[in-house]
Amino acid sequence: MKRTIVATVAGIALLFRPLIGQIIFEQPLSPRNANYRMEILLDTEKKQIRGNEILTWRNISTVAARELQFHLYMNAFKNNQSTHISESGGSGGKLRTKKAWGWTDIDAVRIVDGPDLTPALSFIRPDDDNEQDQTVVSIRLPRAVPPGGEISVSIDFTTQLPIVFRRNGYAADNFFFAAQWFPKIGVLENDGWNCHQFHSSTEFFADYGVYDVTLTLPREMVVGSTGVPLETIEHDSLKTLHIRAEDVHDFAWTAWPGYLVAETEHNGVTIIHLYEKDHASTVERTLNAMKMTMDYMENWVGEYPYPRVTVVHPPTQAMEVGGMEYPMFITGGSFWHMPEGIKAPEMVTVHEFGHNWFYHMIGNNEFEEAWLDEGINSYAEMRMMTEFYGEHTSMFDIPGFQMGEIAMQRQNYIKVPRWDRTLRPAWTYIGGNYATFSYGKPALMLVTLENYLTRPVMDRVMRTFFQRWKFRHPSSEDFIAVVNEVTGEDYNWFFDQLLKGSGDLDYRVASVWTGKGVTPAGLFDSDSGKVLLPVKTSEPDSSGAGTEASEEAAEMFKSTVRINRAGEVIIPVDVLLVFENGDSLTYTWDGAERWQRYRVEYPSKLAWASVDPERKLVLDKNFSNNSMAVTQRKAPVNYITARFIMFFETALQILGFMG
């Protein structure tokens, strides 16, 4: 579907606003079963959003809906005992005082042209028994909505923005950022509503639809948002913006009079960059990262279909809203005069824009299977950062220190390789390891899978998965099914261990030995008695006649290498033996037993041995034991020092945790 904007868009009056009709796209890209028309006002004095939403919802499940369930995400900041704050340690940091809290109140709800439903509203806790949590609300219906049926409800609501916290809120100088700010319907599946509470380590899950929004706010505000601005009407000290987004599952926006605007076009898409003046040095870097990401993702898996995308670098006083993804709208982050050798602005931009493919067009359930977007998108980020900025310099390229993306992710994972498994609801990770097991480990798992399958095969897997499941809600089993289909083989053994299991991967060279001896010419494994290389008997000369090889005894050296599987994960692995004369032998071991011994006789001493010599198994928790020399000197390894890891992690904390 090519990007198209109907020519009459600019002249659309706010009084005539077709909700479901095509304004941006000629044909719908998604089921469009959750559609919102909103009229909202930003009260800059009270830090509130007040207004009305009309939700038109179609039941695309196979079960009747006897209630509607809505997320009230902002209520996570309503008190210091919500599930979100309790899981965060109980204090909420900046939210210690009521003045800093945020919330969403449903003031009234009714069926359009029907009865008042406000008395039927009640808070529910599908995940725990926390009576202080009000992030999910149920509204009982007088009549069930059957499969294929439709209902429209009108909701008057007030949202109090908190002081900037968890990618939301207000800050000094009239800065506002509104994410998950409205009553948002959950997803009805065939086994019932999927509408989880807002936990400290979960993000979001929603159906696709059209968002038609009018936003009234002070005239001096510079606004960025999901969607396409259609019209602006100014009146006295205020202005009203009409914004429309089609085939998205979320709508977020920001307003601040201090934003500067850079605009460019790439591949027919308008790219808007909002930034503060102190971040001017990274504008070109950010826009270039956006363009390169678009090119890579479109060539790799599929087209970016929307006509517009906005990237925001929040001001210094609101850095906590940085590093997050919304449809057609992302937040990055930077510092004043960020050195070019530190690729943090590029990395965050690449990651968050990549989410417009893996999460916004592939609408997986981030509550229950966060790896499907965070892990896959981190894998995409690794590929792009490596291609754009170099294998060993994609994160840091400063005098005396270089670091690549894969090395950085490995350093986080190898600290806790067995603490948890990836495939589990995001709020249930043990010990706060959500980031490691939904971002880092699955990304490294997919790099390992790519190394095993080869890149061309992996590319077919990723493109098939994207094209088949875009604008739908795939599960982990759907991804695995695509892998099996594209490869023509069963890879459940791989995912059972690395996705669904918590075992670690560690192959090591346990011992090497070489000694002198004299035997007939040949090469064999004395354990199995099998010839490993053929004995040379005859070779044609230039005339084509054979010349007999010498049958004289040759000076041979016996060598023994033992490889151990120190981890729980079993995966085929290569073993390399290198001799002093430069020759080498490579074997493939299925890795199933706890150890494997190789005995060879060869006309040269063994110099060293290596398991997984090409470092294909990037989840191996200890590369330093993968090689061993006969002289007991290990092969060179790139050791990453702790002080630079701490430097990088501190930078990420200042930028804000990536979404």
Please give the share of the chain, as a percent, with pLDDT higher than 70.
Answer: 86
Q: How far apart are CA 154 and CA 182, in angstroms?
A: 12
DSSP annotation string for 569-581? ----EEEEEEETT
Per the listing, tokens 């605007």 go with 261
pLDDT at 656 over 60: no
Q: What is the pLDDT of residue 17?
A: 53
Partner residues linked to 49 by β-bridges: 42, 159
Q: Encoding tokens for residue 524?
A: 């064999």
pLDDT-based confidence at residue 404 (cuts at 50, 70, 90): confident
Residue 22: what pLDDT? 67
Instruction: Yes or no: say if 398 and 606 are a contact pair by the CB < 8 Å rule.
Output: no
In three state form, how does the secondary structure of 585-626 look? EEEEECCCCCEEEEEEEECCCEEEEEECCCCCCCCECCHHHC
Higher-pLDDT residue of 408, 206? 206
- Contact (CB, 8 A) for 473 and 365: yes
Measured CA to CA, the distance from residue 484 to residue 414 in angstroms comes to: 28
The pLDDT value given to residue 520: 37
Count Cβ atoms below 10 Å from residue 590 Cβ, excluding itself: 10
Amino acid at 304: Y
User: d(Cα 494, Cα 461) in Å, to the nearest integer?
Assistant: 15
Residue 640 pLDDT > 70, yes or no? Answer: no
Question: What pLDDT band is residue 98 in, cutting at 50, 70 and 90?
Answer: confident
Average pLDDT of the segment spanning 70-94: 86
Going by their DSSP bridges, the two strands 192-194 and 228-235 should be labelled as unpaired
pLDDT for the residue 642: 41
Read off the pLDDT of residues 140-150 as tens digits, 9 standing for 90 and up.
999 999 999 99
Q: How far lies 424's CA from each of 126, 367, 421, 427, 522, in Å?
A: 16, 9, 7, 8, 53
Q: With the C-alpha atoms ordered 372, 187, 18, 251, is the resulting torsion angle positive or negative?
A: negative
Tell me, what's the pLDDT at 91? 54
Give the distance from CA 234 to its chain's centroid.
39
Which amino acid, one-letter code, is at 127?
D
Give the SS3 label for residue 473: coil
Average pLDDT over residues 89-108: 81
pLDDT of residue 412: 85
How many CB atoms lie under 10 A from the CB of residue 189?
A: 14
Radius of gyration in angstroms for the set of CA atoms belonging to the chain, rounded to a whole number:
29
pTM: 0.88
Instruction: List C-alpha distances in Å: 294 to 287, 310, 333, 471, 567.
Output: 11, 13, 19, 18, 39
Residue with tokens 């020519």: 7
Q: Strand, helix or coil at 48? A: strand
Look over the chain and give the mean of its residue pLDDT values, rounded to a whole number.
Answer: 88
Sign of the dihedral through C-alpha 394, 649, 321, 445: positive
| Cβ count near 515 (within 10 Å) | 10
Q: Are the C-beta atoms of residues 5 and 307 closer than 8 Å to each other?
A: yes
Strand order across the 184-185 sheet: 121-123, 136-145, 65-71, 184-185
pLDDT at 304: 98
Sorting pLDDT into bands at 50, 70 and 90, what band is 18?
A: low
Please say whether the dihedral angle defined by the alpha carbons of residues 21, 24, 28 and 32, taken in this order, is positive or negative. Answer: negative
Sign of the dihedral defined by the CA atoms of residues 161, 162, 166, 168, in that order = positive
Per-residue pLDDT tens for 248-307? Answer: 999 999 999 999 999 999 999 999 999 999 889 999 999 999 999 999 999 999 999 999
Q: Where are the alpha helices (DSSP H) in 229-360?
A: 283-300, 344-354
Q: Give the Cβ contact number of residue 19 at 10 Å.
A: 17
Strands 103-111 and 238-248: unpaired
List residues bridging with 518 in a β-sheet. 555
Under the banding of pLDDT at 50, 70 and 90, the label for residue 543 is very low
pLDDT digits (tens, 9 = 90+) for 490-520: 999 999 999 999 999 999 999 999 987 544 3
Q: Which residues touch 247 (CB under 8 Å, ≥6 apart)?
A: 25, 28, 29, 30, 32, 208, 209, 210, 305, 471
Q: Residue 205 is encoded by which pair of tokens?
A: 């899950």
pLDDT score, position 517: 58
632 falls in which pLDDT band (50, 70, 90)? low
Token code pair at residue 634: 């290990």
Report how far apart, in Å, the C-alpha atoms of 497 and of each of 117, 289, 462, 491, 493 are. 49, 35, 21, 10, 6
Of 415, 412, 390, 416, nearest to 403 by C-alpha is 390
At residue 4 the predicted structure's pLDDT band, cuts being 50, 70 and 90, is very low
Distance CA 411, CA 621 (A): 9
Residues 630-633: contacts with CB under 8 Å, at least 24 apart? 630/512, 630/513, 630/514, 630/605, 630/606
Q: Where are the beta strands (DSSP E) in 354-406?
A: 396-398, 401-403
Please tell me whether residue 358 adopts helix, strand or coil conformation: coil
pLDDT tens string 355-382? 999 999 999 999 999 999 999 999 999 9
Residues 445-464: tens digit of each pLDDT: 999 999 999 999 999 999 99
Task: Single out the residue of 584, 512, 582, 583 nearest to residue 574, CA to CA.
Answer: 584
Contact by Cβ (8 Å): 362, 474 = yes
Of 613, 607, 608, nearest to 588 by C-alpha is 613
Determine the Cα–Cα distance for residues 303 and 288; give it in Å rounded to an integer: 18
User: Which domains, ranges and CATH numbers included, belong to the chain?
Assistant: 30-253 (2.60.40.1730), 259-336 (3.30.2010.30), 371-498 (1.10.390.10), 507-539+551-616+622-629 (no CATH)
Average pLDDT over residues 321-344: 90
Task: Give 21's pLDDT tier (boundaries 50, 70, 90).
Answer: low
Predicted confidence band of residue 536 (pLDDT cuts 50, 70, 90)? very low
Averaged over 316-330, what is the pLDDT?
95
Confidence at 431, pLDDT banded by 50, 70, 90: confident
Residue 528: pLDDT above 80? no
Return all residues near 212 (Cβ < 8 A) that are at least 6 apart: 17, 19, 35, 36, 37, 38, 242, 243, 244
